[in-house]
Structure 1
Amino acid sequence: MSEELTFVDRLHRDLREVRWPEPAELRARARRRSRRTAVLSTVTVLVVLAGAAVAVRERPTGPATPTAPVAAPGSAPASAPARTEIPLDALLTPADLPTKTGERLGDTGLGEAVRIDPLLESCGRERDVSAQLSVSRASRSQTLLRPTTRAGQPATPVLSQDVYRIELARGRWLFGEIDRLLNACAEWTLNASTLAADQQPVATEQEHHWEPAARDFAGDQSVLLRHVASQPRAQTGGRPVGAAASVETTLVVRVGDLVTVVVPAPDTVAEGVDDTGMSQQDLLGLGGTAAKRLCPAADAPC
Structure 2
Amino acid sequence: MRDDDLTFIEAVQRDLHTVRWAEPAELRARARRRSRRTAVAAAVAVLALTSGAAFVASRGATVPASAPAAASPSAPAWIAAEVPAEALLQPVDLRPAIARPWNEAGLGEEIRLDQMLEVCRKDQGLVTRWEQSRYSRSVAIVRERPGGVDKREGQVLAMQDLYRVPPDRADHLFDGLPALLGPCRQWRSSGPTAWRGTTITAEVVHSWQEVDRDFAGDESVLVRHTVGQARNLDTGAPLDDRTSVTAQAVVRVGDLVSVLRYGSDGSESQLRDLARVAAERMCVAANPGC
Same fold (TM over 0.5): yes
Inter-CA distance 182–167: structure 2 relative to 1 (3 Å threshold): same
Match of 1:89 in 2: 86
CA distance in 1, matches of 2:111, 2:241: 28
Distance 2:221 2:100 in 1: 28
Paired position in structure 2 for 1:230: 228
2:279 to 291, 295, 298: 291
- Label 1:143 to 1:194 Cα distance change in 2 as closer, same or farther (>3 A): farther
Q: 2:111 aligns with which of 107, 110, 114?
A: 114
Tell me, what secondary structure is at the counterpart of 1:179? helix
Contact 1:115 1:133 in 2 (8 A): yes
Contact kept, 8 Å, 1:194 with 1:242, in 2: the verdict is no
CA contact (8 A) 2:144 2:153 kept: no
Change (3 A) 1:141 1:205: same
Match for residue 251 of structure 1? Answer: 249
Question: Whose Rg is larger?
Answer: 1
- 2:187 aligned partner: 188
TM-score (norm 1): 0.64
The one-letter code matched in structure 2 to 1:151 is: V
Counterparts in 2 of 1:101 and 1:236: CA distance versus 1, 3 Å: farther
Hey, which of these two has a bigger chunk of helix by percent?
1
**Shift in Å, 1:127:** 3.1
State yes or no: 1:176 paired with 2:171: no
Structural mapping, 1:199-218, within 5 Å = 202-218=200-216
The number of residues matched between the two structures is: 219
**Separation in structure 2 between the aligned mates of residue 93 and residue 197 of structure 1, nearest angstrom:** 43
What SS does structure 1 have at the residue aligned with 2:275? helix
Aligned to 1:154: 153
CA distance 1:162–1:202, change in 2 (3 Å): farther
Alignment of 1:3-18 (within 5 A): none
Q: Distance in 2 between matches of 1:101 and 1:186?
A: 38
Confirm or deny: 8 A CA contact 1:132 1:177 kept in the other structure: no
Q: Could you say if the C-alpha distance between residues 119 and 105 of structure 1 is closer, same or farther in structure 2, counting changes exceeding 3 Å? A: same
Unaligned segments of structure 2, at least 5 residues: 1-39, 44-52, 57-70, 72-76
Q: Which amino acid aligns with 1:247?
A: V
Q: Deviations over 1:184-207 (max 9, x none)?
A: 211111225545455x66542211
Q: In the alignment, what sits opposite 1:163? A: 162
CA distance in 2, matches of 1:243, 1:83: 49
Q: How far has the Cα of 1:161 moved from its partner?
A: 0.9
Give the letter for the 2:260 counterpart.
Answer: V
- Contact 1:129–1:184 at 8 Å: present in 2 too? no
Distance 1:193-1:294 versus aligned 2 partners, 3 A rule: farther
Aligned to 2:55: 77
SS at match of 1:162: strand
Distance 1:77 1:86, change over 3 A: same
| Aligned partner letter, 1:283 | L
Q: Give 1:154 shift.
A: 2.3
Letter in 2 for 1:95: V
Give the aligned CA root-mean-square deviation in angstroms: 2.8
Aligned to 1:266, the other structure's residue is in SS state coil
Long gaps (5+) in structure 1: 1-30, 36-74, 270-278
Q: 8 Å contact 2:78–2:287 — kept in the other structure?
A: no
Secondary structure, in 3 states, of the residue corresponding to 1:290?
A: helix
Whole-angstrom distance in 2 between the partners of 1:201 and 1:106: 41
Q: TM-score, normalised by structure 2?
A: 0.66
- Residues 1:238 and 1:136: Cα distance change in structure 2 (over 3 Å): same
CA-to-partner distance for each residue in 1:123-161, whole Å, 9 max, x for gaps? 223334434321111111111222224433622322111
RCO higher in structure (CA 8 A, sep ≥6): 2
